[in-house]
Amino acid sequence: VQLVESGGGLVQTGGSLRLSCAASGFSFDDYVIGWFRQDPGKEREGIPCIYNNNGESYYADSVKGRFTIAGANAKNTVYLQMNGLKAEDTGVYYCARDWACSPARMLGVFDIADYWGQGTQVTVSS
């Protein structure tokens, strides 16, 4: 199983980035892909997640209306389009293979992700 994130970088406040999570080594449609971020000194935060078999997704309140998660199942890839970026969006962004996608999962009530990517840095400058 392998998950590879890409697309991070430095962007100004209000700007946009699109992250990619390329997955391999498992049956893509059978799982959830979740995006998480972590800044030094802060707890890991679930952002959005998506069921690959039907596209059902959930978003953390902090990114609703600004971020969009979408799957390209033919490419075994999940994208995270981030618009209206703020300084507080800065962090290392990870995608993970997960077993559930729900508001509770995004709040970190439970953690059952079993494979993680290496992360990609997103820095939003003011």
**Rounded Cα gap, residues 33 and 51, in angstroms:** 7
The amino acid occupying position 61 is: D
Supply the mean pLDDT for the chain. 95
| Distance linking the first and last C-alpha atoms of the chain | 37
Residues 6+ apart with CB under 8 A from 10: 123, 125
Percentage of residues in the chain with pLDDT exceeding 70?
A: 100
For the segment 13-53, what is each residue's pLDDT rounded down to a tens digit? 999 999 999 999 999 999 999 999 998 888 899 999 999 99
Structure confidence at residue 5 as a pLDDT band (50, 70, 90)? very high
For the segment 70-111, what is each residue's pLDDT rounded down to a tens digit? 999 999 999 999 999 999 999 999 999 999 998 888 888 888
Partners of 9 in beta bridges: 122
